[in-house]
Structure 1
Amino acid sequence: MFSRDTVARFQNLETPFYYYDLNVLDQTLMSCKAASEKFAFHVHYALKANFNEQILKAIQKSGFGADCVSGNEVKKAIEIGFDPGKVVFAGVGKSDREINEALDNNIYCFNVESVQELGVINELALKQGKQARVAIRINPNVDAHTHQYITTGLEENKFGVNQWELPACVEELKRCSNLELIGIHFHVGSQITNLDVFKSLCLKVNELNTWFLERGFDLKVLNVGGGLGVDYHHPDENAVNDFMSFFEIYDRFLERRTGQEVHFELGRALVAQCGSLISRILYVKNGLKKNFLVLDAGMTELMRPALYQAYHKIENITADSANSIVSYDVVGPICESTDCFGKEVELPESKRGDIIAIRSAGAYGEVMASGYNLRERVRSVYS
């Protein structure tokens, strides 16, 4: 919901742009922090969701760690002020340069995604005369019941180590004197709204935690990843996630030995609802079977609907609410048929110049923006 003053402000700004409500962000961070601290859980923010500097500074000030999936994300996190001792580095294809730079910065842990990667990190750590802390990312083969493009924890996915490869990991770890195994790591997917998925994950983590103990590894960290979904259909009613219910699942079902830490890597759940993509209607095209609203924002500004048919609530925030309701396909200006934000969206009758808000765009929005069609880079505005 946007106030009159906010809408009036938008009308005086050039579109498109991302609008970030920093009050919503602060409320979300406070809620997550309070819930995680109740159970002594550790939260790392997943930079891939949004690396806007204003957003990162707010998250860093809240005391969270950083979950990175590229060397530049590691570099950015440390530049912003995240404690290197709270930075973890995941990714199925870490380059030698990225690993060396992470070693230079003495990050907390590498989340390792293959047997071969263990040997590579060991070799590079040896050359630097360092001991690298690692956690093995394991595919638990737990179905996240989410879109196939954002499922990551099945054996058919490219991420992590399959369970049948674990004996080979143990043998490699015994050979690698410059590695310290501190934990096991999991991430089953994104936008998970069925909390039973996380219960299933806990049961698998318990099994594997015991498996490693039986082989002489008393693990310090159980990193269960993230994946907590948000309510894209009701962004105002559910602006802040129910973090307490999420963490309670792990507190009830995850078996921890004395001194074991539980780590999370949350991204979308922290930032999605604070961001909206603000755009203007360029043209209204009325047809016999279809009506189109052509916006000045497109898939170059928000890729999610084109990439994996993602839903975002679309609002005309300047139309007269008394106008009759019309069904529109809301599309962008990019020369691709997939450049569509929503089909048959019911909105008040709209006209050229009206302002459209595409909600819950704070995660995987600005970070995926591109210069396709030589589009200018989308800018940001803050509350």
Structure 2
Amino acid sequence: DIDAHTHHYITTGLKENKFGIDLRMLDNAVAKATNMANIKLCGLHFHIGSQITTMEPFVLLCKKINQLLAKFQSEGINITQVNVGGGLGIDYEHPDENPFAPFKPYFDTFRQNLDSGKISLVHFELGRSVVAQCGTLISRVLYVKQGVNKKFVIIDAGMNDLLRPALYGAHHNIENISNTDSTAVERYDVVGPICESSDTFATDELLPITQRGDLIAIRSAGAYGETMASTYNMRTLTPYVIV
């Protein structure tokens, strides 16, 4: 029951989330585990959410872990391992200015707040923060459509290639790498070609004047890009190049 202050689809540690064991049910679960001949209870696993950009939720997590460790120790239950999950966020808006997640403040938070005196092993699950900035989705403009009130840049990448914007309403930095002249810009909705209104990467995006054939870079696609891709609408999976 720790609020990670992130998108409601990627919170995992609240009472209404489907994940984990509610603290009110934990005593019963531990009692069952300690009474099973073939089960050895050696650790606790926590995960409070994803794309967390402040340290406060991790401080609260440490306090919760410390309380549970002290409680189980007083009951003669020896917990030797703790998995604190992951969740450290990245800067999707400014990938060049902040190519690395704030690893030092993150690890310092646990170093300063986690009572690790009785723990022999602490696990961290840092997925997104390690790989997200390592990948970019490159797409070509198929058509620039003039609507009634706005212009649409229709690209050949779609929600099947990068699902986060459609699924979470997430925003990635988008660049026109064929035209880098920022002195003349226009507002566009950047959309894919799939027959779904949610196949939209950004609305009212400021880009240099964009035309058919331009190459568009959607940044920070190294996490939840290829792993969530599909062949929806009979589209082939995107090939990738390692540089």
Among 256, 262, 267, the residue aligned to 2:127: 267
Q: Tell me the SS of whatever aligns to 2:41.
A: strand
Q: Quote the offset at 1:161 in angstroms.
A: 0.5
2:111 corresponds to: 251
2:170 corresponds to: 310
C-alpha RMSD of matched pairs (Å): 1.1
Q: Quote the offset at 1:337 in angstroms.
A: 0.3
Supply the AA of the counterpart residue of 2:56.
Answer: D
Q: Kindly tell me: are residues 161 and 295 of structure 1, through their superposed partners in 2, closer, same or farther at Cα, counting changes over 3 Å? A: same
1:343 corresponds to: 203
Q: Quote the offset at 1:284 in angstroms.
A: 0.4
Q: Is the 8 A contact 1:323 1:349 kept in 2?
A: no
Q: Kindly tell me: are residues 205 and 322 of structure 1, through their superposed partners in 2, closer, same or farther at Cα, counting changes over 3 Å? A: closer
1:297 equivalent in alignment to 2:154: no
Deviations 1:66-85 (A, max 9, x none): xxxxxxxxxxxxxxxxxxxx
Q: Quote the offset at 1:193 in angstroms.
A: 0.3
Q: Quote the offset at 1:153 in angstroms.
A: 0.4
CA distance in 1 between partners of 2:171 and 2:116 (Å): 37
1:369 corresponds to: 229
Q: Quote the offset at 1:351 in angstroms.
A: 0.6
2:145 corresponds to: 285
Q: Tell me the SS of whatever aligns to 1:180.
A: coil
Q: Tell me the SS of whatever aligns to 2:68.
A: helix
CA distance in 1 between partners of 2:152 and 2:206 (Å): 11
1:179 equivalent in alignment to 2:39: yes
Long gaps (5+) in structure 1 = 1-140
1:74 corresponds to: none
CA distance in 1 between partners of 2:132 and 2:28 (Å): 39
Among 62, 72, 78, the residue aligned to 1:202: 62
Task: Name the structure where helix makes up a greater proportion of residues.
Answer: 1
Identity among equivalent positions (%) equals 53
Q: Quote the offset at 1:260 in angstroms.
A: 2.9
Q: Quote the offset at 1:373 in angstroms.
A: 0.7
Supply the AA of the counterpart residue of 1:300.
Answer: N
CA distance in 2 between partners of 1:344 and 1:174 (Å): 57
Q: Is the 8 A contact 2:34 2:40 kept in 1?
A: no
Long gaps (5+) in structure 2 = none
- More divergent stretch after superposition (210-219 vs 367-376): 210-219
Q: Tell me the SS of whatever aligns to 2:203.
A: strand
Supply the AA of the counterpart residue of 1:253.
Answer: N
Q: Which 4+ stretches in 1 moved above 4 angstroms?
A: none
Q: Quote the offset at 1:171 in angstroms.
A: 2.2
How many residue pairs align between the two structures?
A: 243
Supply the AA of the counterpart residue of 2:177.
Answer: I
Q: Is the 8 A contact 2:182 2:207 kept in 1?
A: no
Q: Kindly tell me: are residues 283 and 206 of structure 1, through their superposed partners in 2, closer, same or farther at Cα, counting changes over 3 Å? A: same
Q: Is the 8 A contact 1:219 1:260 kept in 2?
A: no
Among 359, 375, 378, the residue aligned to 2:219: 359
